[in-house]
Amino acid sequence: MPTRGIISMRSLRIPVLTATVALLGGLLAPVPAAIADDLATDAAVHVVGTLVVIQAEESPSPVTPPQAVTDAAPTLGAHVLLPDGASVPIDGDLIPADAASGAPVDVVAAPSAEVLADAGVAASGTVAADSAEGQQIVEAAVVADDPLTVVAGEIGAVEVQAAAAAHTIDVAVVSNGSTATAAKTDDYVKKVVAKVGAFWSEQSAGKVPAITLTTIKRYSSAKGCGTENSTIALWDEAAKKFGHSGGANDYVGAATKHLFVISPPSCAVSFNGLGSIGNGVGNGGVVWAAFDGGDGSGDELTLAHEIGHNFSLNHSNVQQCTYPESDVKIVGSSYGSTSCFEDSYADLYDVMGMSFVVNDGTTLHGNDNTPALNAISKLRLGLISATDAPVLTATTPTTTSYTLAGASALSGRRALKIVDPVSNERYYVEYRNAQGRDAGSLYSRFADPPAHWSIAAMGPGIRVLKAGPGGATSVVIPDSTASSRRLAFVAGRTFTSRTGGLKITVSSLTTSVATVAVKLTPPLAAFAGTSPPAVSGNRQVGQTLTATAGSGWTPAPATLTYKWMRNGAAISGATSSIYVPVAADVGTLTTVAVTGAKAGYATKTWTSTTTIKTVADTAFAGEKLPVVSGTRAAGKTLTVTPGAGWTPTPTSYTYRWYRGSALIAGATEASYTQKPDDIGAIVTASVTAVKTGITSRSYRSATAAKTTGAFSGSAVPTIAGDPFVTRTLTARPSTAWVPTPTSYAYQWYRNGTAISKATARTHVVVTADKGAKLTVRVTAVKAGVTSRAGVSAPTATIAALKSFTGKALPTAKGTRAVGSTLTALSGSDWSPKKAPTTFTYRWYRGTVAISGATGKTYTQVTADVGKVIRVKVTAVRYGYASKSGYSSTTAAKTVR
């Protein structure tokens, strides 16, 4: 008996580029250091063609439930189609995340050092992708599954296609060298294509009037299958068999023209389908699938899914969170919570989820018909009117009941787009009632799937969706409890958004309509004004303190309540506008919190501030702070005057001066002359009142402007680095400036003339610098300090680096056995080799660097058995560009 389970037919997609992207400023920009360290330093490939980006996913399994294999994050694989039909794999951070198929490409890409070594070429500089050296490098990259890294170039834009025209589809049924094919007969292919065409004609509301099959061609291909590169080759081959000399380029991004390549089921090793993404229902494109036959439902959903990619749609996923979280904020391209992730393809209600069939023990079954598009897809493609999918917003609290027809209905209100009034996040609501084309859907037949399937419960009900991280996908928010998760909300259940500003309660469900109550709760208005409450009176035991509202509070609160505090802790019973300090307040900070309230506004609390502690009735009273007068500049004198109103009158005062919060050593007089160290700081004074029999009390002057002045000390910077083209020079600011600068500005000069855009601390010496002497001007910067600049002494005359000669590979000499020592030797014809040339070494076990193995010799260990031990040798000499090479990959393997 066949094993019960679900077969997951996964689909790949090619995203679309919506704008011209200059990868590098002026076509040049730095590659991240972590990447650059692994790139070959002496070769790159110039690639010109058309971009195709593929999202690689795991292969389907005949026994794995559909949602159990979706946790792994998909990876993007980018390729450039060359005019001759070949393709070049590329990657790198310089390729935008939304870069995609159909865009013109003109880039320079570098191989890794390992790929260059495997290619066995002595390429130097940039070679064309179609040159002999370029083809060898590309072939090595494909074999190693190690794409070339883009380091310069440009990707163009893709034109938006017009909508509402009949579509055509050319179909190639391809065997892979055997008699096995995915589609047994042409009638089977026509039946599947016809059902898919009917689906899109219906779901597009006629904007896709038809998808007409033009021709079916059957042939055997030696291009292979089951990989990204082989699929691209199959597309190109099929396009030319249909008379398109431009290959797959004639379909990618083309209007209303599709190419469909069908392979045998055995080709579904790494993925089950691929499709290029266009700009709307007016687009054509290329698709591929490994048809499996059966009752046809799985193949129908796979093809409908891939054509959905041609029409710009991305995948339909499920938002999975650890209970009690169910809805979280999306921040850019990720979730704002580590407990949530996007479960790819897991929306089993939608055509852009995974294609799947169920083994009931005797037969494989899928949906009776491909289910209707979800609400987000309909709105993105403009397939539903604002009347049938109204937008709900609110500025005041509202609760409104809405009736929704099923998603499969062809007219009437079928969706809601709701804006959370707190966060402005968009939520989409639809009703899946298992009627119309949803009748006989697997979501209705397996509302409560077996536990061993490890998937969420389904069934008819209200579904809540939103755009996934990055905005391209749609995600379903399940109805989650501590013990269960269901992809639809049934009668009596309520969805609450993460902010609480939106609640959707399912009032009732019938076979034709659902009724939901939508509650929108906008945030209350907020009081304006930041001024703290004012406290009048002396902070002294027995004296009365009075609180008044701060200035600028708008609108005026209708009521005010008070809470007096001792060092931030509420004082029991002290809740009026006045307070008389008691003995417990001595030595503490007495403040008041005033809370304003008004209908329609969120209550707000303002708290007073003070730096004056409450004193006993035997201490000085008075609240006037000392006053500092004088010009705040280095070399100028400041004078502090005690505040008036201290009682009883002090007989003397003592003084302390502060630079910021730090005491200034020796500054204990009423006057203080500011020093260079004070520049950029706020200088204040503390005055202590003294009188026999009275507790002394100190007051600090109020904050003020910072002390100004110019930097002093030597300003001459120096330059570190070698004066050769391609080397990096580094400016070193003077360490003698006072006060210490907080930052520096740089400008590099060539023979006294400023170099355009050379304003960083480092400068990579370019060819234009050859024959010149370079200097750098460094300007010291600190808030409140007059900037000062210094210019370095010139470098030696800039010269070009010489090159090592020689093409021979390094060798690893010695017996290849555990315990034996291998010795690294540079290429036999490398020159110069004698001092001052030095060499560095890195040993590899196959292609993996061996930790700590950086010496000239390496003693083999048990882990090396069965591996080829290689060494990378790098020659270094002052005035020369370093040269690296790897020993042969075909050397003998290490034995015991």
Same domain as 496, residue 374: yes
CATH of the domain at 784: 2.60.40.2700
- Residue 164: what pLDDT? 66
Residue 251 lies in a domain: yes
- The average confidence (pLDDT) of the chain is 86
Residue 162 lies in a domain: no
pLDDT at residue 71 is higher than 50:
no
Q: What's the farthest any 2 CA atoms get from each other in the chain?
A: 113
* Helix or strand holding residue 319 (H, E): strand 316-321
- Residue 874: what pLDDT? 95
Composition of the chain by helix, strand, coil, percent to 5: 10, 40, 50
Which residues pair with residue 149 across a beta bridge? 91, 110
Same domain as 494, residue 407: yes
Same domain as 442, residue 354: yes
| CA–CA separation, 278 and 113 (whole Å) | 36
Residue 617 lies in a domain: no
Residue 613 lies in a domain: no
pLDDT at residue 726 is higher than 50:
yes
User: Under a CB-based contact definition with an 8 Å cutoff, are residues 567 and 532 in contact?
Assistant: no
Condensed to tens digits (0 to 9), the pLDDT of residues 308-341 reads 988 888 899 999 999 888 898 888 778 888 888 8
Which residues pair with residue 845 across a beta bridge? 848, 869
| CA–CA separation, 176 and 89 (whole Å) | 23
Q: Which of 312, 338, 361 is the last residue of a domain?
A: 312
| CA–CA separation, 399 and 397 (whole Å) | 7
Same domain as 37, residue 144: yes
User: Quick check: pTM over 0.85?
Assistant: no
Query: What tokens appear for 693 in the block?
Result: 């029999």
Same domain as 300, residue 259: yes
Most confident residue range from 18-32, 261-275, 369-383: 369-383
| CA–CA separation, 268 and 265 (whole Å) | 6
Same domain as 722, residue 692: no
Same domain as 387, residue 333: yes
Residue 501 lies in a domain: yes
Same domain as 119, residue 74: yes
According to DSSP, the β-strands at 391-392 and 364-365 are: unpaired
Q: What DSSP string describes 617-634?
A: TTB-B--PPPEEES--BT
- Residue 152: what pLDDT? 86
Q: What angle do CA 296, 300, 303 make, to 5 degrees?
A: 140
Same domain as 122, residue 217: no
Cα separations (Å) of 700 from 96, 613, 647, 652, 656? 56, 12, 17, 16, 9
Q: Is residue 405 classed as helix, strand or coil in its secondary structure?
A: strand
Condensed to tens digits (0 to 9), the pLDDT of residues 225-243 reads 888 888 889 999 999 999 9
Same domain as 655, residue 582: no
| CA–CA separation, 277 and 530 (whole Å) | 52
Cα separations (Å) of 640 from 684, 688, 797? 9, 12, 58
Condensed to tens digits (0 to 9), the pLDDT of residues 656-667 reads 999 999 999 999
Residue 422 lies in a domain: yes
Residue that the structure tokens 């991280």 belong to: 469
Q: Which of 278, 312, 346 is the last residue of a domain?
A: 312
Residue 161 lies in a domain: no
| CA–CA separation, 728 and 721 (whole Å) | 6
pLDDT at residue 629 is higher than 70:
yes
Residue ranges with strand state E in 580-625: 590-597, 604-607
User: Under a CB-based contact definition with an 8 Å cutoff, are residues 34 and 94 in contact?
Assistant: no
Residue 676 lies in a domain: yes
Q: Which of 123, 155, 187 is the last residue of a domain?
A: 155
3-class secondary structure per residue, 327-344: CCCEECCEECCCCEEEEC
Which residues pair with residue 274 across a beta bridge? 288
Same domain as 466, residue 327: yes
Ordered alpha helix ranges (H), 362-464: 375-380, 442-445
- Residue 533: what pLDDT? 93
Task: Give the range of the structural domain holding residue 779, as residue numbers without chain letter.
Answer: 711-791
Q: Is residue 75 classed as helix, strand or coil in its secondary structure?
A: strand
Same domain as 350, residue 307: no
Which residues pair with residue 508 across a beta bridge? 515
Q: What DSSP string describes 808-847?
A: PPPEEES--BTT-EEEEE--TT-B--STT-EEEEEEEETT
Residue that the structure tokens 């094993």 belong to: 3
Tally of domains within the chain: 7
User: Under a CB-based contact definition with an 8 Å cutoff, are residues 43 and 148 in contact?
Assistant: no
- Residue 283: what pLDDT? 85
Condensed to tens digits (0 to 9), the pLDDT of residues 251-273 reads 886 789 999 999 998 888 878 88
Query: What tokens appear for 505 in the block?
Result: 């309660």
- Residue 466: what pLDDT? 95
According to DSSP, the β-strands at 391-392 and 415-419 are: parallel
pLDDT band at residue 638 using 50, 70 and 90 as cut-offs: very high
Phi, then psi, of 786 in degrees rounded to 5: -65, 125
Condensed to tens digits (0 to 9), the pLDDT of residues 458-492 reads 999 999 999 988 788 899 999 999 888 999 999 99
Least confident of 160-169, 200-209, 211-220: 160-169
